[in-house]
Structure 1
Amino acid sequence: MKKVIHPKNYRIVAFKDMSNEEVFLCRSTAETKESIDINGVIYPLIKIEISSSSHPFYTGKMKYVDSAGRIDKYFKKYNRKNGPSST
């Protein structure tokens, strides 16, 4: 491998899946200001929304998304009864 093309700040980083709170360690150059203590060792922390531990393709479990509730919440917020045509 060429020695001059690799980044200098390659280190072990903790990635935390925010949907199921699972943490895993991996090498990365990603910058972060947060940190986490795992077994007495402080690691830089990167929070992610979804990973292989929570993605339906890898887990085989589908999560129900309450889109109807979100739509009703939107209409309540903007005082609409039956959709965009009502004012």
Structure 2
Amino acid sequence: MKPGIHPAYGPVVYRDKSADFAFLTRSTRTSEQTIQWEDGNTYPVIDVEISARSHPFYTGTARVVDSAGRVERFERRYGRSGRDGQNGRDGAGR
């Protein structure tokens, strides 16, 4: 690696205020805001809107999308009634 071309890599705290969740990691990102961590040291803090503690997929509050309804709506809209090849199309382009 060439010296002097890489950004500084150091400790930083990522904080999700909506879930009251924060973790200390290393990153090239930095911030003017700081926070005193559990070990007594002060680190730059970066606030995020979504983390693993607040994302619907990871918290189990994600909605299930009705994909069967979408397929039926597509078939109604374009006049196809399924895979049986009606309406002049048999899947082979005839």
Aligned counterpart, 1:14: 13
Structure 2 counterpart of 1:24, one-letter code:
F
User: For residues 5 and 52 of structure 1, what CA distance do their matches in structure 2 show?
Assistant: 34
Structure 1 equivalent of residue 48 of structure 2: 48
Query: For structure 1, which runs of at least 5 residues remain unmatched after alignment?
Result: 63-87
Q: With CA pairs under 8 Å and 6+ residues apart, which has the higher RCO, 1 or 2?
A: 1
1:33, 1:12 → 2: CA distance?
14
Over the aligned positions, Cα root-mean-square deviation in angstroms equals: 2.2
Distance 1:58-1:3 versus aligned 2 partners, 3 A rule: farther
Structure 2: which 5+ residue stretches go unaligned?
A: 63-94
TM-score, normalised to structure 2, is 0.56
**Cα deviation, residue 4, structure 1:** 4.1
Number of aligned residue pairs? 62
Q: Which residue of 1 aligns with 2:88?
A: none
Structure 1 residue 7, shift from structure 2 partner: 2.4
Superposed, 1:1-87 pairs within 5 Å as: 2-4=1-3, 7-39=6-38, 40-62=40-62
Which has the higher Rg, Structure 1 or Structure 2?
2
Tell me: CA distance 1:6–1:20, structure 2 relative to 1, closer, same or farther (3 Å): farther
Mapped partners of 1:57, 1:5: distance in 2: 40
% identical equivalent positions: 41
The question of whether the paired residues in 1 share the 8 Å contact of 2:12 and 2:30 is answered with: no
> Counterpart of 1:20 in 2: which secondary structure?
coil
8 Å Cα contact 1:35/1:42 also seen in 2: yes
